[in-house]
Amino acid sequence: MAGLNLLMVGAGLSGAVIGRKLAEAGHTITIVDARSHIAGNCHTERDTDTDVMVHIYGPHIFHTDDAEVWDYVNSFTTFKPYKNRVKTTSKGQVFSLPVNLHTINQFFDKTMRPVEAEAFIKEEQADTSITDPQTFEEQAMRFVGKDLYEAFFKGYTMKQWGCHPRELPASILKRLPVRFNYDDNYFFHKFQGMPENGYTAMIAAILEHENITVHLSTTFTRTQTDDYDHVFYSGPLDGYYGFDQGRLPYRTLDFERFSYEGDYQGCAVMNYGEVDVPYTRITEHKHFSPWESHEGSVCYTEFSRECGPDDIPYYPIHLVDGNQMLQEYVTRAKAETKVSFVGRLGTYRYLDMDVTIREALDTAEAFLSRSDANPMPAFMKAPL
Ligand code: FAD
Ligand code: UDP
């Protein structure tokens, strides 16, 4: 059935990718975003003084094992090779992340080879009595042990999430590899890169279709649902219901932006592992575009804190104990027939860009193949 009138709430990756696929199928797509720009949290913009491409809502590095998603993004823009190599400052020294052989040798003042380091961590550091780690802390104790955990993860995680790592699920730490060689690539994915002209240009290209109209600085409210045949909502799940059952917990970020003449820190990302340093990391944005050359520099000092009603919700917080309020919102949302909840905020999940795109493509596909026997679900994947 072509020619439906469809609304995307949010002009981030979710709204853009779903909108594009459904526009190509002949539907009329309206996209609204409360912000004055497209691209959601992936938004990039050149700094007027230095010409550095700034990742306005924090650094974004594209990494995926999904060849179809990689082909998809490459069909809209040129990607430059980019490997994320993160450093961390702890105990008065700079170390390499993710934890690798260099980190281990430097930290323990040793010169171990891979097999020796692996045996050392397993036999002298890791708590092997933990067989099935459930919490962040158990995962860390099981795979790197107390010393590395306390230097690099405990303080950082308490700052980032505002709670103790034993309250957080192991899945958060599983995002990071531990290596017994000198590979310091932060990610383990096959395809990694950075869009040459920034993410906003890439998303602008996705939105470039005659059936798509974008309205910026336009806030959606639930009553508008009736004006459309179907709504794809990438705003916060609790926001859809006007927070009438309370506010789900999120972390927000404050970025203190500063300029510098020259090279401020010599790398793109410097983490700060200790809890008494109030910020989590400093990012130097020109290093995210190493193929460019800039004298001036733009840096962000990043602080994480509890998200208030007027803040941007960045990270949904999932605790090991679960969340009754979330369960209630999800139950309500699952009963919706004219709305699909998508993206990081709509599904209240910690989604990287590649997973966001994968789910957006699958969502559009499910919509196109829906039938009475197989109706469009409110969630492709719910948080519970
Ligand atoms: P968003 O980008 O959040 O877009 C949702 C849009 O909806 C927003 O623009 C918002 O203004 C709009 N909106 C919400 N409510 C309303 C309303 N009522 N009316 C109108 N508009 C509304 N992923 C990676 O793969 N690599 C990384 O390195 C990486 N780094 C990240 C760093 C940070 C600090 C954060 C927060 C995320 C990072 N991500 C990264 C994840 C990435 O940002 C998300 O995967 C992606 O932005 C999700 O896209 P989305 O469209 O679902 O959501
Ligand atoms: N983390 C940490 N120390 C670091 C980097 C990460 O403790 O130096 C933890 C932190 O809890 C973080 C998680 O590992 O939320 C996953 O790290 P990642 O870099 O993927 O987080 P992102 O900022 O991308 O959400």
User: Which domains, and CATH codes, for the chain?
Assistant: 5-55+195-246+321-368 (3.40.50.720), 99-174 (no CATH)
Instruction: Output the pLDDT for position 65.
Output: 98
Catalytically annotated residue among 238, 284, 302, 359: 302
pLDDT in tens, 18-34: 999 999 999 999 999 99
In which band, very low, low, confident or very high, does the pLDDT at 384 lie, cut at 50, 70 and 90? Answer: confident
In 225-341, where do the E strands start and end?
230-233, 250-261, 269-272, 281-284, 296-306, 315-316, 339-341
Q: Which atom of ligand 1 is closest in space to residue 63's alpha carbon? A: 25
- Expressed in angstroms and rounded, the spacing between residue 157 Cα and the centre of ligand 2 is 7
For range 352-359, the mean pLDDT: 98
Angle at the Cα of 11 (from 292 to 221), degrees rounded to 5?
150
Ligand nearest to the CA of residue 86, numbered in listed order: 2
CB 375 within 8 A of CB 337: yes
pLDDT in tens, 115-165: 999 999 999 999 999 999 999 999 999 999 999 999 999 999 999 999 999
Task: Look up residue 231 and give its two tokens.
Answer: 């709504």
Looking at residue 40, the DSSP 8-state letter turns out to be: G
DSSP string, 255-281: EEEEEEES-SSSSSEEEE--TTSS-SE
Question: β-strands 212-215, 28-32: how paired?
Answer: parallel
pTM of the complete model? 0.97
Instruction: Output the pLDDT for position 57.
Output: 98
pLDDT in tens, 225-262: 999 999 999 999 999 999 999 999 999 999 999 999 99
Question: β-strands 62-64, 191-195: how paired?
Answer: antiparallel
- The one-letter amino acid code at 29 reads I
251 a catalytic residue? yes
Within 26-154, where are the H helices?
67-74, 101-108, 114-120, 136-143, 146-148
Residue nearest ligand 1's atom 31 by CA: 60
3-state secondary structure of 104: helix
Which residues lie across from 253 on neighbouring strands?
Answer: 304
Q: Is the model's pLDDT at 187 over the cut of 80?
A: yes
Instruction: Output the pLDDT for position 1.
Output: 64
In sequence order, the 6+-apart residues with CB closer than 8 A to the CB of 372 are: none
350 a catalytic residue? yes
Our answer on whether the CB atom of 160 is closer than 6 Å to any ligand 2 atom is yes
Task: Look up residue 143 and give its two tokens.
Answer: 């795979």
How does the average pLDDT of the chain come out, rounded?
Answer: 97
